[in-house]
Amino acid sequence: MAKRYLPPPIHFPVLQAKHAETSTLRSSTLVPPTKYLSKSPSSSSTALQKAINKNGCHRALSSHAGQPQHAQRSTNIIQRSSLPTSGKEIVSYGANQSLTVHIVNSDWKKSKEKNKIDKMYPTGSSQLSVARSYAGERPRQILRWLSTAVFKIFPNSVEIQCYFDISSGKIYISSNVTSINKKISSCSSGLFKIIGEIHGSLSEEDAGRTSRHFRKLLIRGVYKEQTDIMDALKNGDIVVPLDDHSVDLHAERRIAAMLKEQGKVLDPQFLAGVKRPCMACFYALNLINSRPGPLWPSKPGSFGYDPEKLMKHAYENGVISYAALDRFNRTVVLDHDSDSESDKDD
- How much is the pLDDT for 297? 93
Q: What is the mean pLDDT of residues 69-98?
A: 59
Q: What confidence category does residue 116 fall into, taking pLDDT thresholds of 50, 70 and 90? A: very high
Most confident of 40-49, 73-82, 201-210, 211-220: 211-220
d(CA 130, CA 122): 12
> Does residue 344 have a pLDDT over 50?
no
262-298 pLDDT per residue, tens: 999 999 999 999 999 999 999 999 998 889 999 999 9
d(CA 296, CA 290): 17
> Does residue 46 have a pLDDT over 90?
no
- How much is the pLDDT for 91? 95
161-165/271-273 β-pairing: antiparallel
> Does residue 340 have a pLDDT over 70?
no
> Does residue 109 have a pLDDT over 60?
yes
Say which amino acid occupies 222: V
d(CA 133, CA 123): 19
> Does residue 209 have a pLDDT over 90?
no
Residues in the chain: 346
135-144 pLDDT per residue, tens: 888 999 999 9
Higher pLDDT, 132 or 211: 211
Say which amino acid occupies 249: L
Residue 343: Cβ within 10 Å count: 10
317-327 pLDDT per residue, tens: 889 999 988 87
